[in-house]
Amino acid sequence: MATDIRAELNNCGVSAQKARLVIDLVRGKPAVEAMVALKFTNKVAALHVGKLLASAVANAEENFGLSREDLVIYKITADEAPTRKWRRFGARGRFKPLLRRASHITVVLREKE
């Protein structure tokens, strides 16, 4: 049985929809290759996902004694977090809501077979 190394980022300030664009680039790739790809991806979510992936790799090395070359992204998801609702007032006394969306990002690493 392979051990799963998990890392979570809760209430990330990027919407889940935007985070999924970055996550789809690295799903199923080796961890080292994914970290290099994220470093050169021109999206704000790539910074958050890159830090989370680096944390998961550090957890694997420190807590489980695994080598970073043997790690693969087994599962990576971005789920919606609670939305912060802000108000902006429009013309004729109307109310224009602003929705500041956030996301919960989860990474699960496994060792290559």
Q: What length does the chain have?
A: 113
Sign of CA dihedral 79, 85, 89, 93: positive
Sorted by where each begins, the domain ranges of the chain are 5-111
Which tens digit of pLDDT belongs to each residue from 8-27? 999 999 999 999 999 999 99
Average pLDDT of the residues in 41-53? 97
Sign of CA dihedral 20, 101, 80, 62: positive
pTM flag (> 0.85): yes
Select the CATH number that applies to the domain covering 5-111 from these four: 2.60.40.1730, 3.40.50.10800, 3.90.470.10, 3.40.50.10440: 3.90.470.10
Res 3 pLDDT > 90: no
